[in-house]
Amino acid sequence: MRTTPRILSSEKIMKTIKKDKINTVLDFLIKKYQVFGPVQKDDLVVDFGRIQNGAQACLEFSNTNEPAKKLFFPQAETLFSYTGSDAAQVSELKPEKPRIIFGMRPCDAKSLSLLDAVFDGPDYKDPYYIVKRKNTTIFTLACRRPRSNCFCDSLGIGPFSKKDTDVFMADLGDRYVFEPITPGGADILNKIPGLENARPTDAERLKNLRSEAESKVARKVDLDNLPEKLARIFDHPFWDGIHQKCLGCGICTYLCPTCHCFDIVDEQKDDKGRRIRIWDSCSYPTFTLEASGHNPRATGKERMRQRLMHKFRYFVENYGEIACVGCGRCINHCPVGSDLIREIENINNLK
- Contact residues for ligand SF4, defined by CB under 6 A: 246-252, 255-258, 283, 311, 324-330, 334-336, 338, 340
Q: How far is the CB of 57 from ligand SF4 (least distance, A)?
A: 23
Q: How far is the CB of 293 from ligand SF4 (least distance, A)?
A: 23
The nearer residue to ligand SF4, 144 or 329, going by C-beta atoms, is 329
**Cβ atoms of residues 121 and 262 within 8 Å:** no
Q: How far is the CB of 168 from ligand SF4 (least distance, A)?
A: 20
Residue 109, number of CB atoms within 10 A of its CB: 26
Rg (CA), the chain: 22
The nearer residue to ligand SF4, 249 or 289, going by C-beta atoms, is 249
Q: How far is the CB of 145 from ligand SF4 (least distance, A)?
A: 17
The nearer residue to ligand SF4, 155 or 188, going by C-beta atoms, is 155
CA distances from 64 to 52, 125, 301, 331 (A): 19, 28, 30, 14
The nearer residue to ligand SF4, 16 or 161, going by C-beta atoms, is 161
Using DSSP bridges, classify how beta strands 15-18 and 272-279 pair: parallel, antiparallel or unpaired.
Answer: unpaired
The nearer residue to ligand SF4, 24 or 348, going by C-beta atoms, is 348
DSSP string, 212-280: HHHHT-------TTHHHHHHHTTT-THHHHHTTT-----HHHHS-SS---EEEEEEEETTEEEEEEEE-
Q: How far is the CB of 307 from ligand SF4 (least distance, A)?
A: 8
Element (H, E) at 133: helix 127-134
Nearest alpha carbon to residue 177 among 3, 59, 10: 59
Q: How far is the CB of 42 from ligand SF4 (least distance, A)?
A: 21
**Cβ atoms of residues 27 and 54 within 8 Å:** yes
**Cβ atoms of residues 17 and 176 within 8 Å:** yes
Helices (H), 135-191: 183-191
The nearer residue to ligand SF4, 34 or 149, going by C-beta atoms, is 149
Classify residue 290 by its DSSP letter.
-
CA distances from 121 to 1, 117, 213, 260 (A): 5, 5, 34, 14
Which residue type, as a one-letter code, is found at position 286?
A: T
The nearer residue to ligand SF4, 175 or 310, going by C-beta atoms, is 310
What contacts 123, CB < 8 A, 6 or more positions away?
A: none
The nearer residue to ligand SF4, 169 or 340, going by C-beta atoms, is 340
For residue 103, give the 3-state DSSP assignment: strand
Q: How far is the CB of 283 from ligand SF4 (least distance, A)?
A: 4
The nearer residue to ligand SF4, 26 or 330, going by C-beta atoms, is 330
Q: How far is the CB of 331 from ligand SF4 (least distance, A)?
A: 7
Q: How far is the CB of 333 from ligand SF4 (least distance, A)?
A: 7
